[in-house]
Amino acid sequence: MKLIIGVFFIVLMVPAIAQEPTKTAVASKEAAIVDEINLSDTDIEVFKEQTKQKVEEFQQHIVTLGSKDQPAEKRNMAEKEALKLFFKGAEMQTSIIMPDGTVTIQSRPMEKYLARLKSLPYTAVVIKFYDLVYISSFTKGPDGRYYSSATVIQEFTGFSGDNLVYKDVTKKEIEIVIDLVEDKFFNEKKWRVFLGNIKATETKKA
């Protein structure tokens, strides 16, 4: 009787053990499929145009956030919409020219940077952007995503009353990420453009 029970348990355990390799095989197959999915040259050109649009949209949100003349509701909305443009975990580098002429750079999570921008200690802030300077070629990373960068020039001016307190011009490099994400509405994966980390590569007095 003990022998029969033992055999019964072994029979029950075998299917359960056999399931694990199946799950692993499925996961490996899915990873291989994703790795095989590539963007065509035509797709890349489309995403370059989308990159320009995303960068311009972000610039508009930054101008709104920096302007203390705008209603609080509009500035709060600009903050929320700006965050939607970014890849999760993106950071912003800010730079400031010190009295001795040296440049101090600090990195902050994007949400903290945007919140801080709204509350800068100036009575007025004016932010201007020059035309998009350059978008590098997209290259596929080992994670299956495509990466590029966009370079922009930003002019920042801070006032206290009618007096100009601070002004600089900074070249910023924006990381661009194209990721394959799940579209819940269509129940399929689609490529999407996100903005990533933004670096301050050069800052000068204006």
Residues across the chain: 206
Kindly write down the DSSP assignment for every residue of 129-196, as one continuous string. Answer: EPPP-EEPPPEE-TTS-EEEEEEEEEEEEEEETTEEEEEEEEEEEEEEEEEEEEETTTTEEEEEEEEE
pLDDT for the residue numbered 179: 93
Which residue has 């590029």 as its token pair? 148
Domain ranges of the chain: 1-36, 39-205
pTM: 0.78
Instruction: Residue 161: name the closest of 129, 121, 115 by CA.
Output: 121
pLDDT, tens only, 47-65? 899 999 999 999 999 999 9
CATH of domain 39-205: 3.10.450
pLDDT for the residue numbered 5: 43
pLDDT for the residue numbered 80: 97
pLDDT for the residue numbered 13: 43
pLDDT for the residue numbered 36: 52
**Under-70 pLDDT residues of the chain:** 1-37, 133
3 state DSSP class of 97: strand
pLDDT for the residue numbered 185: 72
Question: What residue type is 18 in one-letter code?
Answer: A
Bridge partner list, 176: 148, 195
